[in-house]
Chains A and B, each alone.
Chain A
Amino acid sequence: MELTKYILKRLALLIPVLIGVTIIAFALGVLSPGDPVDQILNPDGSESYTQEEYEQVSERLGLDQPVVVQYLDWLGEILRGDFGRSFFTQKSILDQLRYRIPTTMVLAGLSMLLVTIFGVGSGIIMATHRDSPLDRFLSGLSTVLLSVPGFWIAILLIFLFAEKWKILPTSGVSSFAGFILPAITLALPGTGVCARLTRSTILDELGRQYTVVADSKGLDQRQVVMRHAFINALVPIGTYLGTHLAGIMGGAAVIETIFAIPGIGSYAIAAVQSSDYYVVQAYVMLCGTIYVIANILIDIFYITVNPKIRFGLAVE
């Protein structure tokens, strides 16, 4: 009973967030400069039209309604899966998104994998070899990683691996190899943060009483770290990874553009640059939804790992 209440409470908190995201996404469309009616009647700026024609199209598009009604209409369409059509290409936005999402998923997934393996892994190494030259080197490296601009590293990496040494493609994802450089570039700052976080969390746990007791049982350092400190450190680390996943879309968009990867991020940026607002709206919606889903995953993770939530505080 406690558990269900907890889950429901968490879900209840996320729904307003989702609604807020839709409002902002819609607002972006409304606030955007340019007049969609004018765009339709006069796409290249050379035709003129009458007030009547204007009002006709206006009505057809539903733009004469009050804003709130427009919002609800739009919301209804979204929920039905109708994201409208891109101004630019007149193609269905939903189709484009469906076509491009897997690419972005692979990119994001690969990058998350790198962050987890190298971030957590190096964090553990640093914590177990505290203050050794290895620790100092890795700590410094982690700090550098989160201070480096991704787009700049991308240029350097492309030059090295693609142009000079020719082992990876310069752009596009015709093969899986095309995902490697972008995923690495996307993963760099996250790895730095994750490594530092893992290190400090594990060290914190190693200062607690129960690790001293674990020592006293005759466990060696590796066992104390992996069986005790790390398990407890999983909670903040997992929460961070979840938050990172939630926010990965923004960085992915830039990386996709730089590496010319046909994902939803590059689609959105191109749309921004050509003032294609329906696409931007859809993209913002999608990002918000991913954020909410990622948060749900964090909560599930938290529930699974932390026994206090599952068992409450039952006594005796």
Chain B
Amino acid sequence: MKHMRLRSKIALGILAAILLAGIFAPLLAPYDPYASDLGNVLAQPSAQHWLGTDSIGRDLFSRILYGGRQSILLALVATALSMGIGFLIGLVAGYFGGAVDGVITTISNVFQGLPGLTLMIAIAALMGPGVTSMIVAIVTNSWVGFSRIVRGEVMKIKQESYIDGLKSVGASKARILFMHISPNLLGTTCILFATRVAAVVIAVAALSYLGLGLQPPTPDWGVMISEARAYFRRVPMMVVAPGLCIVALSLSVNILADEMRDRLDVRKDSLKDM
């Protein structure tokens, strides 16, 4: 903790602030984020409304506080799921090797061939917009990264364990696998998790902006930007504020991921294109 660079400390602070604001939004928000007040639309920032109001009179500040909740939770759940699935698949591919590995690798390539937003949009179209379809879309897109790392690690251990394997018998090969898992794997996975979450938050916002993700009247940053588009000239704050929140969240996570990467000091190629 002590050795952290200044910017990492700031990033940690900002991230903590965002998460706390999201968790305690019901306590902190002065207004109900859904409550509209048609007599007071598009107001400038004032003592009553710190950031002003939006096109149907909802308090912007309250909506901002609530704005990260859904996307962050969504991003965390979806990425965790990807990690779990990727881990299992990578384990199978690495452990069994041979034809099984070949099939899994091909399937991984297929999923990588339908990149990012395209697939998410298509799945959102299929299943109708909403949380479930976004989770499915995110998982389909993200599991490959995790499975590749795990597969590589398992294969590396397998090589070593063959040497040990002369001493051990049958069943304990699995034990050796687990005993030899390098601390590197944990670190690498954490870094990938962090960078994926940052990217997913942005992707969720983009989908919501297009109307394919979270829907109005949900107080979500992405949705807010889409609603605010038309009013940008009159009340730029409506667009700028939620956007800055997304940037703050994504940036702080990326900076912390960098910090982790430096600590890890691993010279693996896989880290470089995270």
Contact = CB atoms under 8 A, between A and B. Distances in A.
Q: Do chains A and B touch in the complex (CB under 8 A)?
A: yes
B251 A163 contact: no
A273 B211 contact: yes
A20 interface: yes
Interface stretch (A39-47, A84-92, A196-204): A196-204
A151 interface: yes
- Identify the 8 closest CB pairs spanning chains A and B, nearest first: A20-B110, A250-B117, A247-B115, A272-B125, A147-B250, A291-B113, A152-B243, A250-B116
Contact of B246 (A21, A152, A250): A152
Interface in A1-51: 13-14, 16-17, 20-21, 24, 28, 31-33
Interface string B188-221: 0000000000100010011001111000000000
Interface in A251-277: 251, 253-254, 257, 268-269, 272-273, 275, 277
Interface in A261-316: 268-269, 272-273, 275, 277, 280, 283-284, 287-288, 291-292
Given A146-B254, A275-B125, A287 B115 contact: yes
Contacts of A283: 118, 122
B106 A249 contact: no
A147 B198 contact: yes
B247 A148 contact: yes
Given A249-B118, A287-B118, A32 B126 contact: yes
Interface in B211-237: 211-212, 222, 225, 229, 232-233, 236
B272 A246 contact: no
A88 B125 CA distance: 15
A17 B251 contact: no
A11 to B, nearest CB: 13
B119 A155 contact: no
Contacts of A14: 109
Contacts of A150: 202, 206
Interface string A104-143: 0000000000000000000000000000000000001001
Interface in A161-198: 163, 193, 197
A143 B255 CA distance: 8
Contact of B114 (A272, A273, A288): A288
A16 B103 CA distance: 9
A72 interface: no
Contact of A249 (B112, B115, B210): B115
A101 interface: no
Contact of A152 (B225, B233, B255): B225
Contacts of B210: 151, 254, 257, 269
A253 B209 contact: no
Interface string B107-137: 1011011111111111011101000000000
A243 interface: yes
Contacts of B113: 17, 20-21, 246, 287-288, 291-292
B267 A148 contact: no
Given A17-B109, A143-B251, A254-B206, A24 B126 contact: no
A152 B211 CA distance: 15
A74 interface: no
Interface residues of A, number: 55
Size bracket, chain B contacts: 35 or more
A163 B269 contact: no
A143 to B, nearest CB: 6
Q: Which of B211, B239, B243 has the most CB of A within 10 A?
A: B243
Nearest to A140: B7
Contacts of A21: 110, 113-114
Given A13-B109, A20-B107, A251-B117, 6 more contacts: A21-B114, A24-B110, A148-B202, A149-B247, A159-B232, A272-B212
Given A150-B206, A152-B243, A163-B233, A33 B273 contact: no
Given A17-B106, A151-B206, A284 B122 contact: yes
B101 interface: no
A27 B132 CA distance: 18
A272 B212 CA distance: 9
Contact of A149 (B202, B255, B258): B202
Interface string B81-123: 0000000000000000000000000110110111111111110
A155 B232 contact: yes
Nearest to A283: B118
B106 A272 contact: no
Contact of B106 (A16, A197, A240, A247): A16
15 contacts: A32-B126, A143-B254, A144-B247, A147-B251, A148-B202, A149-B206, A149-B243, A155-B239, A156-B243, A163-B233, A240-B272, A248-B115, A269-B210, A273-B211, A291-B112
A284 B205 contact: no
A28 B122 contact: yes
B118 A147 contact: no
Interface in B228-274: 229, 232-233, 236, 239-240, 243, 246-247, 250-251, 253-255, 258, 267, 269, 272-273
